[in-house]
Amino acid sequence: SQTIHQWPATLVQPVGSPLSLECTVEGTSNPNLYWYRQAAGRGLQLLFYSVGIGQISSEVPQNLSASRPQDRQFILSSKKLLLSDSGFYLCAWTVGMNTGELFFGEGSRLTVL
Amino acid sequence: GDSVTQMEGPVTLSEEAFLTINCTYTATGYPSLFWYVQYPGEGLQLLLKATKADDKGSNKGFEATYRKETTSFHLEKGSVQVSDSAVYFCALGQGGSEKLVFGKGTKLTVNP
């Protein structure tokens, strides 16, 4: 069966520090991968998606970047965090069949102080 | 652009009460509509979906009907259980796209 793992689950970082959140999918190949963010009082916002290794599309301009160094690995990064980067980050994958069904990880809660 | 509006939470009900969580959308064309649920400590998972007008999605006793005339997809359950306590997200997707647009989520707490 397919599983998705995100880490770390919780992170507290000072403003200006770097960030790396990692997401790994197991049990499937060539998944479409997504990073969503939920900020306080707001809905889930799509940040990045990837249809293959090295292929990243950004949905909104921001202080973050994403990379896909391996087929089932998706990394969210920042060189210098801002207070506004605080939120709950969710990684998700699909089989690319346009069913609309996303499979989510458990999320990473980032607090920038 | 496309958007989804959900009723503000939190919602607190007693066990066996009737549940309605309102969801309306703004979109061009004919989107697919979804309800996702996030149980405490877990990731989101698909609860039900509808792909065209008048379709009814159902799962685990929950139902939602795609109403094009009112641009709504309200979630209902006739008798909630404590185990239904979770955050519920309404979402839409265009043309089979997996880049979904989500609402803010509604937290439901069911007390015994």
pLDDT digits (tens, 9 = 90+) for B36-50: 999 987 889 999 999
Please give the average per-residue pLDDT across A55-82, as a whole number.
Answer: 93
Q: Least CA distance to B105: which residue of chain A?
A: A43
Q: What residues of chain B lie within 8 A of the CB of A44, using their CB? A: 44, 89, 91, 100, 102, 105
Name which of B73, B68, B9, B8 is nearest B36 in CA terms.
B73
- Report the SS3 class of residue A83: helix
Answer whether A99 sits within 8 Å of B34, measured CB to CB: no
Residue A33 CA, chain-centre distance (Å), reads: 8
Separation in Å, CA of B40 to nearest CA in chain A:
10
Q: What is the pLDDT of residue B55?
A: 95
Nearest to B25 by CA among B34, B16, B12: B34
Strands A10-13 and A108-112: parallel
Report whether pLDDT(A100) > 80: no
Query: Which of A3, A6, A49, A101 is the mutation pick for testing B, counting most B CBs within 10 A?
Result: A101
State the pLDDT at residue B10: 94
Residue in A with minimal Cα distance to B107? A41
Tell me, yes or no, if A31 comes closer than 8 A to chain B by beta carbon: no
Q: Contact at 8 Å (CB) between B9 and B107?
A: yes
Mean pLDDT, rounded, for A16-38: 94
pLDDT value at A96 more than 80: no
pLDDT above 80: residue A68: yes
Beta-carbon separation of B89 and A59 below 8 A: no
DSSP annotation of A80: S
Percent of the residues in chain A that have a pLDDT greater than 90, as a whole number: 72
Which chain A residues have a beta carbon less than 8 Å from that of B26?
Answer: none
What is the enclosing helix (H) or strand (E) of B3?
Answer: strand B3-6
Q: Which residues pair with B7 in a beta bridge?
A: none
Confidence of residue B78 (pLDDT cuts 50, 70, 90): very high
Specify whether the backbone of B70 is left (phi greater than 0), alpha (psi in -120 to 50) or beta: alpha
| 3-state SS assignment for residue A16 | coil
Q: Please report the pLDDT score of residue A97 as a whole number.
A: 67
